[in-house]
Amino acid sequence: MRAILESLLALALGVLVGAAVMAAWGRDPWGAYAALFTGALGNVRALASTLSRSLPLVLTGLTFAVGARAGLFNIGAQGQMLLGAVVALSCGLLSLPPGWHLLVALALSALAGALWALPVALLKLTRGVSEVISTIMLNWVAHWLTLYLVVQKLSDRVVGQRTFTVPMGMRFPVLQGELTWSWTVSVGMALFLFWFLWYHRQGYEVRAAGLNPRAARAAGISVSRAMVLALLLGGVSAAWAGAIQVLGRFPYAITSDLANLGNLGFDGIAVALIGRNHPLGILGGAFFFGVLATGAARMGLRGIPLEMIQIVQGVIVVAMAAPEALRLLRRLRARQREVVPA
C-alpha cells in the first residue's frame, strides 16, 4: 500500500516537472499529455500496440529483478536479449513443422540466454569478479556478435536493411493488431517467478541470500547456488524478451542496426525499478513504459520536438524509479561495509 502511494507521488512529481519543462519552452503541457494518452490508449488498436511494446520489457525487467532479489546487480539483460533474438531468428533456417518450430526456437533461445549468463556466475563464484563488470563486458561481446550474424549471415538478399523474416510456422499467432500470443510468455514468466520467489523453497532461498547472505548461510542456505539460479533464470527471461520481439512482433525480423531490438535490455532495469523488483509490479512498470513510448508520436504532432519528448519521458521514468533505486543503493552500500566471502 505504501509502495503504491509512493509510486503515485513520484509519478505526480515526474509529470509536473515534465510539464514545467514543456511550459518553459512555450508548449502546452496538458494538451501534450492528453495526446500521449490518446496515442497510447485511445482505441483498441492503440492499446494492442502499447501492450505489444511492453511485453519484452516485462521479461528484461524480470531479469534485473530476480538478480536484485538475490543481492546481485545484473545488467546483462541487453546482451542476453540480443543473443536470444538472433538464436530464435536463426531457427528459421531449420525446417520443422509449424508450432513445433516456435517451441524449438524458444527452447534454443532460452538455452543461449542461460549459457550467456553462466560465465557471469562462474567468474563471480570462482574469481570474485563483480557481476556488474562481467555483464557490461559480455553485453558488448553479444552486441558485436549479433551484429556480425545479422549483417553478414542472416541479412535479406534483396532489401539488406534487415534479416530474412521469420517463417509463418515459427511466429506467434496474432491476437489483435500488433499484439500476438507472445503475451503468454511474458505474463507466464512473471507469474512463474512470483510463485517461485514467494511460494517455493529455492525461491525463498534466493530472497534470503539477497536480504542477508550471512544469516542465510548460517541457516544452511547455499548462497552460491541461489546466485547461480538467479543469474540463469535471468538469462532465460532476457533471451525470451529478444525471442518474442522477433517471433511475435512486426516486422518479424532484426534490422541491420539492431534498432528494432533497441535498448530493451537496459530499459528493463528502469522497468524493474518502477515495479519495485516485484514480478507483478513489473507487469505494471512495463505497461507504463509502453504507454510513454507509444504515445510519443502524438506528442510530436503537438509541436513538441523529439528531444523534449525524451526529456519528459526521462524525467517521469527517473522519478518513478527513484524510490526503489535509492533503496537498492542503500542496501548495496550496507553490504559493502560487511564484505561477504563468496
Partner 1 sequence: MRGVRVALAVLAVLGLAVSGFAAKKICLYFDQTGPGDLSFNDMALLGAQRAAQDFGLELHYTTASSPLEFLSDLSSLAETGEYVLIVGVGFLLFDALPEAARLYPQQKFAFVDGPNFDLPNMIGLLFKEQEGGALAGVVAALVALAYGDPAIGAVAGMEIPPVWRYEAGYRFGAYWAVDWYRKNVGPAPDLRVLVTYVGRFDDPAGGKVAAEALIRAGARNILGIAGGTHLGAFDAVEEAGRAAGRTYGPPFAYGADAAQEYIKPGFILGSARKRVDTAVYEAVKWALSGEPGFNLVLGIAEEGTGFSTEEDIRTFVELAAKAGYPLAGTPEEVINAILGARKSVPEYVWKALAEFEGLLRAGAIQLPAADTAEQIAEVRARYP
# chain residues binding partner 1, by CB under 8 A: 43
- Quote the least distance from Cβ 304 to partner 1, whole Å: 9
CB closer to partner 1 out of 134 and 180: 180
- Quote the least distance from Cβ 292 to partner 1, whole Å: 9
Q: Does 294 bind partner 1 (CB under 8 A)?
A: yes
8 Å CB contact between 17 and 311: no
- Pick out residues in 203-242 that bind partner 1 (CB under 8 A): none
- Quote the least distance from Cβ 158 to partner 1, whole Å: 5
Q: Does 318 bind partner 1 (CB under 8 A)?
A: no
- Expressed in angstroms, the distance from the first to the final Cα of the chain is 35
Residue position matching grid coordinates 528493463: 268
Cβ contacts of 235 within 8 Å, gap of 6 or more = 63, 76, 80, 113, 114, 115, 116, 117, 118
Q: Does 310 bind partner 1 (CB under 8 A)?
A: yes
CB closer to partner 1 out of 203 and 268: 268
Cβ contacts of 311 within 8 Å, gap of 6 or more = 18, 21
- Quote the least distance from Cβ 41 to partner 1, whole Å: 11
- Pick out residues in 87-116 that bind partner 1 (CB under 8 A): none
- Quote the least distance from Cβ 269 to partner 1, whole Å: 17
Q: Which of 31, 136, 255, 318 binds partner 1 (CB under 8 A)?
A: 255
Contacts 24+ apart (CB under 8 A), 29-35: 31/302, 32/299, 32/302, 32/304, 32/312, 35/295, 35/298, 35/299, 35/301, 35/302
Q: Which stretch binds partner 1 (CB under 8 A): 38-46, 80-88, 180-188, 280-288?
A: 38-46
Q: Which of 103, 280, 301, 334 binds partner 1 (CB under 8 A)?
A: 301
Q: Which of 10, 14, 29, 53 binds partner 1 (CB under 8 A)?
A: 53
8 Å CB contact between 277 and 69: yes
Q: Which stretch binds partner 1 (CB under 8 A): 15-23, 65-73, 205-213, 307-315?
A: 307-315
Q: Does 152 bind partner 1 (CB under 8 A)?
A: no
Q: Does 126 bind partner 1 (CB under 8 A)?
A: no
CB closer to partner 1 out of 41 and 132: 41
- Pick out residues in 273-292 that bind partner 1 (CB under 8 A): none
Q: Does 177 bind partner 1 (CB under 8 A)?
A: yes
Q: Which of 10, 22, 36, 46 binds partner 1 (CB under 8 A)?
A: 46
Cβ contacts of 15 within 8 Å, gap of 6 or more = 33, 316
- The binding site for partner 1 (CB under 8 A) comprises 39, 42-43, 45-46, 49-50, 52-53, 147, 151, 155-162, 177-178, 250-251, 253, 255-257, 259-260, 262, 293-294, 296-301, 305-306, 309-310, 313
